[in-house]
A = this chain, B = another copy of it.
Amino acid sequence: MIRLTKCAVSVLLATGFGLGATSAFSADTLQDVMKARGLSQQDLMAAAKTYVPTGKRDDFMVFSSGGQSGQVIVYGIPSMRILKYIGVFTPEPWQGYGFDEQSKKVLAGGRIDGKDITWGDTHHPALSETNGESDGQFLFINDKANPRIAVIDLQDFETKQIVVNPIYKSEHGGTFVTPNTEYIFEAAQYPAPLENKKFYPLEEFNEKYRGGMTYWKFDRKKGLVDTAASFSIELPPYSQDLSDAGKGPSDGWSFTNSFCAERYVGGIEKGRPPYEAGCSAKDTDYLHVINWRKAAELVKAGKAKKINGHDVLSMETAIKEGILFLVPEPKSPHGADVTPDGKMIIVAGKLDTHVSVFSFEKIQAAIKAGKFEGKDPYGIPVIAMKDALHTQVSLGLGPLHTQYDSKPCVAYTSLYVDSQVAKWNYCEGKVLDKISVHYNIGHLMTMEGDTTKPKGHYLVALNKLAIDRFNPVGPLHPQNHQLIDISGDKMELLYDMPIPLGEPHYAVAIDAKKLKPAVRYKVGTNSRTDQPDPGAVKAGQEKIVRKGNKVEVFGTLIRSHITPETIEVNVGDEVTINLTNLERAEDETHGFAVSTYNVHASVEPGKTVTVKFKADKEGVYPYYCTEFCSALHLEMEGYLLVKPKGWKPGKTTALAAGHYTEVEYKATVKKVADTQAIIDSVVAYITSVNYKDFPEVVAMVDDAFDQLGKTKGLKEKHEGFAAKKDWENANLWAEQIWQYQVKTADLGLRAKTFLEQHGAKKIK
């Protein structure tokens, strides 16, 4: 190990690496810290390459599947900090997903056979593309266990649609998109009868069980899958696996590999060897090569039959029309990855040490020449492996998935058994470098590595096990996503990142600059449909509407009160509460909970949400804002009063008086004046500098004046009560002015701090 020389240390100290005695790190030099923490110089370099200082942003954004959590995990590169878990297939209360009526409708789209599914097994996210490049508009993801796909709008990072596959009982090879996101692919996995709820015994596996490939039509304008314009192709029961869409010369085609082309049926409990033995007994499985563009035309021409109401092209039709071919591929492959130029398809058979590089040109030549080595048992033409191969390269044990660099011909393949990543050249067929990972890498991912224009720079190894990598947290371990620098000739490990919730399978990364999410909704928006919500009301128009035993509340939320603050219902009433967040400030989310009624909502700025419940128990139930939204957030409360049947007030009652005095009122009025002086001084500072050059500050200032504007009319109000010597109301309304002032001051001070820390300059 290279040690720091005495000279170097003194230079470090002199130049400020030691930072000197006036700093907080007074006792420490960089060398002290490295020594105390056991950091090598390589560690320091890795730290420097990954640390993102306060206020700075990450360069790439990653969308990772959450596996059985049913979510999507969003994190930044190079800091590897997780920024958000997006609720997709699983209800999640923090974001109100599956708790408010608007999001319940999205989840209801994913009901199967009329029943709620409360989880999902997300595997493969895909970003929408334009001309083969990630455009940052939409994210798609699949559910393996309950064959479904979901659409997430990257305007607000919310799930907008869940679509159930009508013919599968499981799926794995989705989602993948075509170069202009015309279609989203979803391949079946474990074969089953395509007709819903149809039973055939396993003895009829070869005849009645089927796989398939579904092409979901995406309507970009609506941001939704058009199920009526979508279709599937029936495939043999080969356990279809991952897919990819052709691009450039191969655009219009799709490639799907498979395992267990043996069509083996296990039964270890009956003495049969298990699936794992029988499904990997032959040396090859099949790559499915499909002309999806022609398939779409055939469906339009009426050549599909309906299964469970969905258009399905039969194998017979697909064969007859010449749109379906097979190519043998080394056994039990996982990835089928089209190169950025669209000329090659790289397949890794994980029980073979080779990756196979198939040439699209050669495949097409064989098809055109009608050169097949035979047919599979279902009559599908089989192209000989040698006629389709560009080259094969031996990489190591358990090759699994391949991603691409910005450098031409450079690919990276994960090696599951070796726990390594291999960097290699697929044009020349040679290995360039290897790096060990911890442990057992599944997929890997490069920046925009699925597109026609990979961005290079970083690679993430999605390791399935962490074992001893992190502080122990019990028998259920996090997985380990390792960030690897691929900018140099040799790969270098930069960072180990635990995944605290979920079991990611695949991830996609995008240049962060391509994402331009909104920070608020237009006031009164149903965020799931992006339409005005009928439950929305403006400030001052809040109301409670009763019809028979139905009570509907149209309320609002703003720092720091809920309107209305009392909701009276009779036991047995059906209660609907619509809430609109009137805030326009970034990050001013409010929550809403009703005690013990299992009611929660998350209401971001401008959003309208609806919660419904039956008031089936009488009593007194507080409700409150669940977000720490302001200094007085605990006071953002109210009461749901559920009156017993036939309850009547016993006497003319009034709320207890507060017994405030003129002295208290005057003290409050003075406090209001003092606070206004503080606000004025902050405003004086802000307007003395070039605050308009800082959009964040402009937004805070807008919001501050918005808050202050809410005091309008309150001065007249408290003075009116004071004139009538109603000191309680006089004092409280003066106090309310102060509440708005506190929020104004809060924002003003935040803006002032921002300006000071971002080098705002004095203006004339």
Contacts and interface: CB of A to CB of B under 8 A. Distances in A.
Interface string A485-516: 10111111101111011110100000010011
Contacts of A639: 190, 202
Interface string A75-90: 1100011111100001
Contact of A469 (B34, B55, B61): B55
Contact of A565 (B118, B269, B544): B269
Given A205-B656, A617-B197, A596 B757 contact: no
A520 B472 CA distance: 12
Contacts of A604: 474-476
Q: Which 8 A-B pairs have the closest CB atoms?
A: A24-B492, A2-B16, A47-B51, A93-B119, A203-B653, A190-B622, A157-B474, A475-B604
A635 B260 contact: yes
Interface in A627-664: 627-629, 631-632, 634-639, 641-644, 647, 649, 653-656, 658, 660, 664
Nearest to A274: B561
A50 B51 contact: yes
B500 A83 contact: yes
Interface stretch (A218-226, A316-324, A364-372, A583-591): A583-591
Contacts of A487: 27
Interface stretch (A7-15, A297-305, A386-394): A7-15
Contacts of A681: none
Nearest to A153: B474
A192 interface: yes
Chain A interface residue count: which class?
35 or more
A439 B631 CA distance: 12
Contact of A26 (B70, B95, B488): B488
Interface in A241-287: 241, 259-260, 262-270, 272-282
A78 to B, nearest CB: 8
A85 B92 CA distance: 13
A338 interface: no
A593 B145 contact: yes
Given A490-B24, A619-B169, A440 B746 contact: yes
A610 interface: no
A532 B731 CA distance: 65
Contacts of A118: 91, 93, 598
Contact of A68 (B269, B280, B626, B644): B626
Contact of A500 (B85, B146, B466): B85
Given A39-B48, A53-B46, A418-B749, A68 B273 contact: no
A2 B24 contact: no
A247 to B, nearest CB: 26
Interface stretch (A354-362, A445-453, A735-743): A735-743
A620 B203 CA distance: 12
A91 to B, nearest CB: 7
A249 to B, nearest CB: 31
A685 to B, nearest CB: 15
Contacts of A281: 658, 660, 664, 668, 731-732, 735
Contact of A95 (B83, B472, B476): B476
B24 A200 contact: no
> Which of A11, A282, A485 has the most chain B CB within a 10 Å cutoff?
A11
Given A95-B476, A595-B169, A419 B619 contact: no
Interface string A13-30: 011110100011111101
Given A12-B8, A202-B566, A474-B517, A48 B44 contact: yes
A524 interface: no
Contacts of A472: 515-517, 519
Contacts of A274: 560-561, 563, 565, 635, 736
A641 B201 contact: yes
A125 interface: no
Given A68-B627, A84-B498, 6 more contacts: A24-B488, A25-B492, A26-B489, A68-B93, A83-B473, A273-B733
A73 interface: yes
A631 B12 CA distance: 49
A429 to B, nearest CB: 23
A428 interface: no
A734 B156 CA distance: 54
B621 A192 contact: yes
A147 B7 CA distance: 63
A84 B750 CA distance: 32
A94 B66 contact: yes
B565 A268 contact: yes
A520 B475 contact: yes
Given A84-B473, A643-B199, A598 B117 contact: yes
Contact of A146 (B527, B595, B628): B595
> Which of A118, A473, A745 has the most chain B CB within a 10 Å cutoff?
A473
Interface string A178-222: 000000000001101100111111111110010000000000000
Contacts of A745: 397, 417
A248 to B, nearest CB: 30
Interface in A332-352: 332, 350-351
Given A46-B51, A475-B156, A475-B607, A624 B169 contact: no
A580 interface: no
B276 A632 contact: yes
Contact of A753 (B436, B469, B503, B641): B436
A764 interface: no
30 contacts: A5-B14, A23-B490, A25-B492, A28-B488, A44-B47, A57-B470, A68-B93, A68-B600, A84-B474, A84-B498, A91-B91, A121-B593, A189-B634, A190-B595, A190-B637, A190-B639, A198-B618, A201-B641, A203-B654, A239-B634, A268-B563, A270-B566, A276-B560, A277-B739, A280-B632, A398-B631, A417-B631, A442-B628, A476-B589, A503-B628
